[in-house]
Structure 1
C-alpha cells in the first residue's frame, strides 16, 4: 500500500478466524456480545482477501475457547490454516478451566503456534486469579506472548489493574494488551500498565478514541510497544488502516507500529502482500 508517496509494510497483530461450518454463527455471536454490527464473516480466506487488498502482508490469527474441551480442536484448526496460508501466524487457545493446560501448551508449540490467547470476558475469569499463575509461569518459560482481550467496562474480569498484578507476580511474562490496553478503560490502562515485555495493539479502539487521544496513548506507552490490529471480522482492514494513518504520527512511529514491532516480537519478516 502507498501512503504519502511511500510503500507501507503492514502486519495485522489481531485477527480472528473460524471454521467454515461455524463462522457465521461465531461472527454473529461476537457482534451480539458487543452490540456492534460485524463488517465481515470470519472466514480465513476472507481475512486474507480483504487484508491483502489493504496491503497487509502478515496476520496474527486466533480464536477463543469458550469451553475447556474446545481448545484442542481450535488449535488444530489454527495450525492447519497457518500451514495453508503462510501469511498467517497463529495463537493457541487455552481455557482457564482446562486441566491439561500444561500438555496443551507444549502441543501448541509443537504445532508451530506462536503464542496464546485469552478473552477473560468471554471466558469469565479474572486475569489475575491465583489459579492462573502456574499457567502464566509455564508460558513465561516458553518465551511466547499471551494476547489478552482487555478492559471492557461492563466487566471487571479484564481490568488493566488485573494485568498489572499478573506482571508483578510473574515478572518477565510477555503480554500483548489488546485495544490500547483497555477497551473503554483507557485511563486505567495508562495509569497501571507498564513493562518492557508488555505490548499493546490498536484494535477496536480507533473508532471510539479521538485521534488526539489515540496519539496520546501511543506516546504514553511508547511506539516501540504498539502494534497495528484490525480485530477482523469486527472491522474492515482497509477502514482500520485509514483510521490509523490519519493519526499525527511520524513515519518512524508508523513503521514501528505497522510492522517493525511485529517482526521483532515474532522473529519474522512481514514483506509485501502477494
Structure 2
C-alpha cells in the first residue's frame, strides 16, 4: 500500500516526491553559467527542492589530461567563479596525478581559493589508482582539508579493490567513491567485516550512489542494494545525479522508492552532505 501511494503521488506531481531539500553531490557543468541554468531548470521541472550542488567542469568530452596544465587551470577557475556568483554551488576542481609537482601546485592553489573537493577519474584521465603519484596527491589533499571525489563505476578491472587499498593507506583524507562500485556495489559489503578489525573503522570513506540507484528500485537487486547501503553506513551515503548524463529528479524518485526509513532517506538526500562539507 505504501508503494502504491507513493506511485500515485509521483504521478500527480509529475516529479520527485522527496520529503525535503536535496544536495546533489555530482553535477557536471561543462559550459559554466549556461550549464548551471539548464541544470536548475531541469531540477525545477522535476519538483525537487535543491539545497545545493557540487559542480565540476570536466566530464564527457571535456577531460583533464596529463600535461594539459593551462586547460586544467582554466577549468578550475571557471567553477571557482561560478561558486562565487552562486552561493548554492560547491566548487569541485581537478588535476592530473601524473603531473607531479605541477599537480600539487594546482591543488594548493585551488585549496587556497576555497575549493573543498578534488575530483579524479582514473578511467577517463587514464591513470592507475595504484600509482604512487595518486597516493601522494590525495594525501596532500587531505592535508589541505579537501575531500577527494573519485570515480568508482568499476569500469576498470580491480577498480574497487585498488580504491579500498588507497583509502586504507591514506586515513587522513576523506574520500567519496562515485557510483558505489557500479554493478559491483556488492563488493563494498566487505566494510561490515573489515570494520570488525581493531583500528579499521574507515570513517574517511563515503559513497555517491548516482547511477546504480536508478536500477535498484523494483528490481531483483533492490534488497541487496539497500542491504549494502546499510552495511557501508547510511551516514556515509550521498545522493548525486551525474547530470547531464542523468537528472536529479530521477535519482530522487529512485531513492524514494527504496525500502529505507524516512530518517535514512533524509541523511542521504542532504544530511550527510551538510555534515561532510560543513554546510
TM > 0.5 fold call = yes
Distance change >3 Å, CA 101–CA 6, structure 1 → 2: closer
Aligned mates of 2:154, 2:135 — CA distance in 1: 22
Cα pair 1:16 1:231 within 8 Å, conserved: yes
Rg (Cα) greater in structure: 2
Deviation of residue 5 (structure 1)? 9.6
Distance change >3 Å, CA 150–CA 223, structure 1 → 2: same
RMSD across aligned positions (CA)? 2.4
Deviates more, 1:2-11 or 1:133-142: 2-11
Aligned mates of 1:246, 1:5 — CA distance in 2: 9
Distance change >3 Å, CA 168–CA 83, structure 1 → 2: same
Which TM-score applies when normalising by structure 1? 0.82
Deviations 1:39-70 (A, max 9, x none): xxx81211122224421220011133431323
Q: Residues 64-213 of structure 1: matches in 2 within 5 Å?
A: 64=58, 65-68=63-66, 69=68, 70-99=71-100, 100-153=102-155, 155-156=156-157, 159-180=159-180, 182-191=181-190, 195-209=202-216, 210=219, 211-213=222-224
Aligned mates of 1:242, 1:6 — CA distance in 2: 7
Deviates more, 1:65-74 or 1:200-209: 65-74
Aligned mates of 2:140, 2:73 — CA distance in 1: 18
Deviations 1:112-167 (A, max 9, x none): 211100011001112121122211221110122100110334x22x6111011112
Deviation of residue 7 (structure 1)? 4.3
Q: How many residues align?
A: 244
Pair 1:219 & 2:230 matched = yes
Cα pair 1:9 1:259 within 8 Å, conserved: yes
Deviation of residue 14 (structure 1)? 1.0
Helix, strand or coil: the match of 1:160? helix
Which TM-score applies when normalising by structure 2? 0.80
Gaps of 5+ in 1: 24-41, 269-274
What's 1:38 paired with? none
Cα pair 1:63 1:117 within 8 Å, conserved: no
The one of 31, 48, 51 aligned to 2:43: 51
Deviates more, 1:160-169 or 1:44-53: 44-53
Deviates more, 1:139-148 or 1:210-219: 210-219
Deviation of residue 214 (structure 1)? 2.4
Shift >6 Å, 4+ stretches: 2-6
Deviations 1:215-261 (A, max 9, x none): 11211111100011111111121121111111111111011111111
Which structure has more RCO (C-alpha within 8 Å, separation ≥ 6)? 1
Pair 1:236 & 2:247 matched = yes
Q: Greater helix share, 1 or 2?
A: 2
